[in-house]
């Protein structure tokens, strides 16, 4: 039947499609790819479509460069360039994509859009950011922590700020990897209380940032105004003002703690300029690690063809 997705096709929509063993292996492979970026031609002869319905700097750069390094050809499609924008169905779009490219990444708003595309695709579909999830970001986040500390199991990470897509993916994949995740947000901006990540780690929700960062090895934040939240920017900045990562907050964490941020940053809002460009962060390594982690993901989603 032309609409049926092939059984066995692997998608990466929320991140927890991976087992813990696969996640560990993916991160180990990412470190190998980082050490030797041209060692793999896993995508030789293959094209990968990258559909962006929202702006991007890091995700687009890291996927485009990473696919090229793997010997593949990235095809970037912006909102408005597809017949989807004129009403063609997701089903028909999925059927056509499945006959032209080896995989497709999507950055969009509704998670349902991604799920529907995946339901009709016989090629892997991966999430490049939706309203609720940003699992490719979480892969780079975990890779950066593992690279810095040599392990993830038992590492304490405190996320301070809005309960965004980035926070949700970090919680889901961090707990899967055995991390202890504490998230501090103001009332009304917390992650859904019914989020129940599975894995050997833990998730606790807080309102007091100092309570969340006590004993933390890593501090993390995201923007106060995510894409699509611009209409409420003023209220968000007011509510989130006490949730900034700065030197005093780092001092309240474990000795040697460092800061992460998915970027783009707004120095003076969710993170101080001192921390963003100082010695107590690994944010720029984290941005680079997007490419290494995603290359390992593509290898996993696209095993060698017969």
Rounded to an integer, what distance in angstroms lies between the CA atom of residue 10 and that of residue 297?
Answer: 11
Least separation in angstroms between residue 60's CB and ligand CP is 6
Rounded to an integer, what distance in angstroms lies between the CA atom of residue 33 and that of residue 40?
Answer: 8
Q: Binding of ligand NVA at residue 164 (CB under 6 A)?
A: yes
Q: Which residues of 218-229 are buried (b: 16+ CB within 10 A; e: fewer)?
A: bbbbbbbbbbee
Count CB neighbours of 193 within 10 A: 7
Is 296 within 8 Å of 29 (Cβ atoms)? yes
Q: Binding of ligand NVA at residue 271 (CB under 6 A)?
A: no
Mark the segment that binds ligand NVA (CB under 6 A) among 44-52, 112-120, 204-212, 222-230.
222-230
Length of the chain counted residue by residue: 306
Q: Would you call 39 a catalytic residue per the annotation? A: no
206: partner contacted, choices ligand CP, ligand NVA, none (Cβ within 5-8 A by kind): none
Q: Would you call 137 a catalytic residue per the annotation? A: yes
Q: Binding of ligand NVA at residue 223 (CB under 6 A)?
A: yes
Q: Binding of ligand NVA at residue 262 (CB under 6 A)?
A: yes
Tell which positions 87-116 bind ligand NVA, by CB under 6 A.
Answer: none
Site string for ligand CP, 259-288 (x = CB under 6 A): ---xxx------------------------
Coil/strand/helix, residue 305: coil
Which tokens belong to 105? 């990444």
Least separation in angstroms between residue 137's CB and ligand CP is 5
Tell which positions 116-135 bind ligand CP, by CB under 6 A.
Answer: 129
Count of chain residues binding ligand CP (CB under 6 A): 9
Q: Binding of ligand NVA at residue 141 (CB under 6 A)?
A: no
Among 137, 281, 286, 294, the one annotated catalytic: 137
Rounded to an integer, what distance in angstroms lies between the CA atom of residue 102 and that of residue 54?
Answer: 22
Q: In terms of CB distance, is 93 or 137 closer to ligand NVA? A: 137
Strand order in the sheet with 180-184: 202-206, 180-184, 156-160, 218-221, 258-261
Strand partners, 183: 159, 205
Least separation in angstroms between residue 266's CB and ligand NVA is 11
Count of chain residues binding ligand NVA (CB under 6 A): 8
223: partner contacted, choices ligand NVA, ligand CP, none (Cβ within 5-8 A by kind): ligand NVA
Rounded to an integer, what distance in angstroms lies between the CA atom of residue 186 and that of residue 130?
Answer: 22
Q: Would you call 222 a catalytic residue per the annotation? A: yes
Half-sphere exposure (CA, 13 Å, Cβ side) for 258? 18
Cβ neighbors of 8 (< 8 A, separation 6 or more) are none
Active site amino acids: 107, 134, 137, 222, 262, 290
Given the rule CB under 6 A, which residues bind ligand CP?
A: 56-59, 129, 137, 262-264
Could you list the residues that contact ligand NVA (CB under 6 A)? Answer: 164-166, 222-223, 226-227, 262
């Amino acid at each position: 039947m032309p609409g049926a997705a092939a059984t066995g096709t692997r998608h990466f929509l929320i991140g927890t499609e991976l087992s813990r063993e696969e996640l560990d292996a993916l991160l180990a492979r990412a470190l190998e790819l980082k050490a030797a970026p041209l060692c793999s031609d896993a995508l030789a002869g293959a094209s990968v479509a990258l559909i962006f319905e929202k702006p991007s700097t890091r995700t687009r750069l890291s996927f485009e460069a990473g696919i090229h390094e793997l010997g593949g050809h990235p095809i970037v499609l912006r909102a408005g360039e597809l017949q989807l924008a004129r009403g063609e169905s997701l089903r028909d779009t999925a059927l056509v994509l499945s006959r032209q490219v080896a995989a497709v990444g999507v950055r969009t708003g509704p998670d349902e859009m991604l799920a529907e595309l995946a339901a009709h695709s016989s090629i892997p579909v991966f999430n490049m950011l939706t309203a609720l999830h940003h699992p490719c970001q979480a892969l780079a986040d975990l890779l950066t922590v593992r690279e810095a500390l040599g392990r993830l199991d038992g590492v304490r990470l405190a996320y301070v700020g809005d309960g965004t897509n980035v926070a949700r993916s970090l919680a889901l994949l961090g707990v899967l990897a055995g991390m202890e995740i504490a998230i501090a947000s103001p009332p009304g901006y917390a992650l859904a209380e019914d989020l129940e990540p599975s894995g050997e780690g833990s998730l606790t929700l807080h309102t007091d940032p100092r309570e969340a960062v006590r004993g933390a090895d890593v501090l993390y934040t995201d923007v106060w105004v995510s894409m699509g939240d611009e209409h409420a920017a003023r209220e968000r900045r007011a509510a989130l003002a006490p949730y900034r990562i700065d030197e005093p907050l780092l001092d309240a964490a474990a000795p040697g703690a460092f800061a992460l941020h998915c970027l783009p940053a707004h120095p003076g809002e969710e993170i101080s300029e001192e921390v963003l460009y100082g010695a107590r962060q690994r944010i720029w390594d984290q941005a680079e690690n997007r490419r290494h982690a995603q290359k390992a993901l593509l290898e996993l989603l696209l095993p060698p063809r017969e």
